[in-house]
Amino acid sequence: MYNDYWGFKEKPFENTPDPRFFYCSAKHEEALMRLLYAVQERKSSAMLSGECGSGKTLLSRIILNRLMNKEEYKVALVVNPAIPLLELLGEIVYQLGGENPAGERKIDILRRLNEILYSVSQDGKHTVIIIDEAQTISEDSVFDELRLLLNFQVNERFLLTLLLLGQPELREKIEATRQFKQRLALRYHLTTLTEVETKAYIGHRCLVAGKESPPFSDGAYKLIYEYSQGLPREINNICDLSLVIGMGERADSVEERIVGEVIKDFQQVQETVGKSGEK
């Protein structure tokens, strides 16, 4: 809608996990390094936690792309783990290339998964299971079952690496599952961007979208950071609507006033939602 007006080749602030728009801040680089280390060293499991909208899903896609481009890995990505245990195990089997085991008993599904893992290992590859939004797993029994998957070993070597990504409540659930906590080889909590990183993040996304000079003033940057607190998804929301408003006003740049109007609208919506929730 506003691409031609501002000089973009594509929209720069879409909330989609597009690896091209990945801004590698120091903390995102650290998270990526730890998760890839767990995979490359064939550790049993690792956990990445972070606030909603902090970039965890994008990181999962970065890892997926890197592993899929290498022949030595077989990867399963589960994006909706809030399903019954048998469906979750069946989805993992299906993602790893097995037939959909719908309707089968748990012991049969596990046997099929075991066969796949050994087959992958015999081919000289390593299996990686990535579970995004893992905080939505509500049953402790599911975490117990995932932990038991780590018992698939051969010659003291793990046949799979399990990567769990989720919001901060995932850490609480893991803490409450002592045996699973002990099996985690690595963990990392992804914090939000600093004010300097927020400005760099905006600049990076604009550059990827085809514009070298971001159309935001210094005052706009500061206001965006203060409201978003460095949360990438919030930054995207503010910047996207600010560009729409700026275009509508035929502005030469996105000034602090425009961003302030957008933030005021967001706050009013939040207040309305809050009041309706109280009724």
CA distance 241 to 204: 18
pLDDT one-digit tens code per residue, 31-84: 999 999 999 999 999 999 999 999 999 999 999 999 988 889 999 999 999 999
- Which has the closest alpha carbon to 202: 181, 223, 188? 223
- Residue 231 structure tokens: 């949360």
Report the CATH fold assignment for 193-272: Helicase, Ruva Protein; domain 3 (1.10.8)
- Average pLDDT of the chain is 93
- Residue 31 structure tokens: 């998270």
**pLDDT for res 140:** 84
Q: Is the pLDDT of residue 277 over 90?
A: no
pLDDT one-digit tens code per residue, 189-217: 999 999 999 999 999 999 999 999 999 99
In degrees rounded to 5, what are phi and psi of residue 134?
A: -65, -15
- At 125, the amino acid letter reads K
Pair type for strands 73-78 and 157-158: unpaired
Measured between alpha carbons, how far is residue 101 from residues 77, 106, 142 in Å?
A: 17, 10, 18
The residues, ordered by sequence, that sit 6+ positions from 69 with a Cβ below 8 Å of its Cβ are none
Superfamily of the domain at 26-190: P-loop containing nucleotide triphosphate hydrolases (3.40.50.300)
- Residues 255-271 have a mean pLDDT of 91
Is the distance from CB of 234 to CB of 193 less than 8 angstroms? no
Query: Can you give the residue ranges of every domain in the chain?
Result: 26-190, 193-272
Does 22 or 138 have the greater pLDDT score? Answer: 22
- At 52, the amino acid letter reads C
